[in-house]
Amino acid sequence: MRDGGSHPFFLRGLLMDTAPPENLPPGTVVGPWRLTCGAGRGAYGAVYRAEKVGQEAAGPVALKLSLHSREGRFEREAEVLSRLRHPGIPRLFDRGEWVGGPWRVAYPYLVMDWVQGRPLYGWARAQTLSSHQVLGLLAQLSRALQAVHEAHCLHRDVKGDNVLVKPDGGVVLLDFGCGTYPEAAPLTVGPLAPGTWPYRSPQALRHPWVHHRDGAPYEAGPHDDVYALGVTAYRLVTGVYPPPGTDLEARRGKRRGLRPLRQPAHSLAPWVTPGLSALIERMLEETPEARGSARELAEALEAEAARARPRGGGSPQSSEAVRPAPAVLPELPGRRAPVWAALAAAGVTFMVTRHLPEASLQGFTGMGPTATGTVGLAHALVTAESLAAPARFDGSEWSGKFLALEIPKRPFAGQRRPPCNRPATEIRGGCWVNVPGPCPKDGYEWDGKCFLPVAAPSRPDTSNYP
């Protein structure tokens, strides 16, 4: 007897119990929860839409299941969420372990609010944004961060992919998998905790190079979350990432030539009001103290939103409301085009899974969109091509691959094959780009030089976001 599916009852139950945690079929029971569909996957967990058995009328929840047995970050995420109560943060309903998978081991899971919405950047591409609207969204995010910090916790992975915009315009900060609190036991082996590279503060980016000998861990603080919010805001309104770890003091000659210059948001997106642009610059300040607390930023953003409100409460004027698009950064006078600019001209896309020294980042401004969903990905596909075009590249084939020191005998899946456009060169059947300066941990050495693999471009992603 069959249940209408392709497998008998007993076989279907067996498949549910032995399927890997990232590929559980609908109907699988995890604790008191029944999975109804998949909703996303990240480096540490898979998210499913679920409902409580016997209480289906209560509505759906988000069940996040670890991909690894005894994952300490799930315990930490659960502890962080249990300390937070804010409308812009999912509520934690339940936690437990599911025993199953090919090896019949225990995988931790969390159950949270099901948030219906779209990831921030995808949502923005479908909107006609105004400064007033952006200020309101950023104020909501600042209030959520305020709640996190006042509970003595940190998010440590604030970014557009971890923000959902609900149909009513409310925003929710997701994915506390990188979150921490003062008494949390250390989980990271290395100087930096997991996070997303272009959102790291200047202090975090410099730390591995300052402490490359002693390996001292970086102590993140609320100011790192604020900086990441600034990167999110900059990317939201301009369509590009700011150069990593930059500040406007470089324009006045301080450390000239050592770091790329950041253009204020309003210079790339003229619809951005001076007040919004100034607040974004404040969040991106070099000095952590100058960025202000999440509470101070929320108050400033709310005040500026009130000033930017359209007269009469109507829709913003067409001259101020536009759909954001990736900007083309103006060439800076009097500076030699660095290697990253050459890569941009060649349309080179390459993989960076950790960090590059600041000296190797001159002229870098763009990073390809990371995967969206309710779980942040631990890898990122870096593209210099976003300097000049809004093309998107699919990094799914790179997921979970961590680069070693020796160039493999065969190209990676998704790596560009010859002919290789300059400045890329062919090595062992794949296209590689030489990176000057100290070779990062993600780099490969060949003939005494450091190289990164070039990713083959794919078709633009035109699918709708959940």
Q: Are the C-beta atoms of residues 374 and 442 closer than 8 Å to each other?
A: no
* Residue-averaged pLDDT of the chain: 76
Pick from 60, 29, 59, 62: which is nearest to 45 by CA? 62
pTM: 0.66
pLDDT grade, residue 112 (50/70/90)? very high
In this predicted structure, the answer to whether residue 369 has a pLDDT above a threshold of 50 is: no
The top-scoring range by mean pLDDT among 247-251, 268-272, 408-412 is 268-272
Choose one of 93, 113, 133: the last residue of a domain: 113
Same domain, 137 and 278: yes
Same domain, 303 and 429: no
Q: Is there a domain that residue 71 lies in? A: yes
* pLDDT single digits (tens) 438-457: 566 567 777 767 888 887 76
Q: Is there a domain that residue 63 lies in? A: yes
| Residue 72: HSE in the Cβ half-sphere, 13 Å Cα cutoff | 6
In this predicted structure, the answer to whether residue 147 has a pLDDT above a threshold of 90 is: yes
Same domain, 30 and 140: no
Same domain, 205 and 295: yes
In this predicted structure, the answer to whether residue 274 has a pLDDT above a threshold of 80 is: yes
pLDDT of res. 260: 63
* Residue 436 to residues 244, 367, 443, 448, 451, Cα–Cα distance (Å): 17, 19, 11, 11, 9
Q: Is there a domain that residue 383 lies in? A: no
Q: Choose, from 157, 224, 247, 442, the residue flagged as catalytic.
A: 157
Number of compact structural domains in the chain: 3
Question: Is 214 annotated as catalytic?
Answer: no
Choose one of 113, 143, 173: the last residue of a domain: 113
- Angle of CA points 202, 207, 212, to nearest 5°: 150
pLDDT of res. 255: 47
Same domain, 134 and 61: no
Which is it for the CA torsion 69, 75, 76, 80, positive or negative? positive
Residue 22 belongs to domain spanning: 14-113
- Angle of CA points 379, 64, 78, to nearest 5°: 95
Residue type, 409: K
Token pair listed for 18: 């032995």
Q: Is there a domain that residue 206 lies in? A: yes
* pLDDT single digits (tens) 12-30: 555 567 899 999 999 999 9
Q: Is there a domain that residue 268 lies in? A: yes
pLDDT of res. 16: 61
Same domain, 126 and 64: no
Q: Which residue has the higher pLDDT, 88 or 11?
A: 88
pLDDT of res. 18: 82
Mean pLDDT of 163-188: 92
Q: Is there a domain that residue 391 lies in? A: no
pLDDT of res. 398: 31
Q: Is there a domain that residue 137 lies in? A: yes
Same domain, 432 and 295: no
In this predicted structure, the answer to whether residue 334 has a pLDDT above a threshold of 70 is: no
In this predicted structure, the answer to whether residue 352 has a pLDDT above a threshold of 80 is: no
Q: Is there a domain that residue 346 lies in? A: no
Pick from 150, 144, 172, 169: which is nearest to 160 by CA? 172
Same domain, 161 and 295: yes
In this predicted structure, the answer to whether residue 95 has a pLDDT above a threshold of 70 is: yes
Choose one of 113, 134, 161: the last residue of a domain: 113
Pick from 60, 378, 48: which is nearest to 188 by CA? 378
Same domain, 280 and 192: yes
**What is the rounded CA–CA span in Å between residue 173 and residue 161?**
9
Same domain, 81 and 203: no
Same domain, 126 and 146: yes
Same domain, 84 and 212: no
Mean pLDDT of 323-334: 41
Q: Which CATH number fits the domain that encloses residue 215?
A: 1.10.510.10
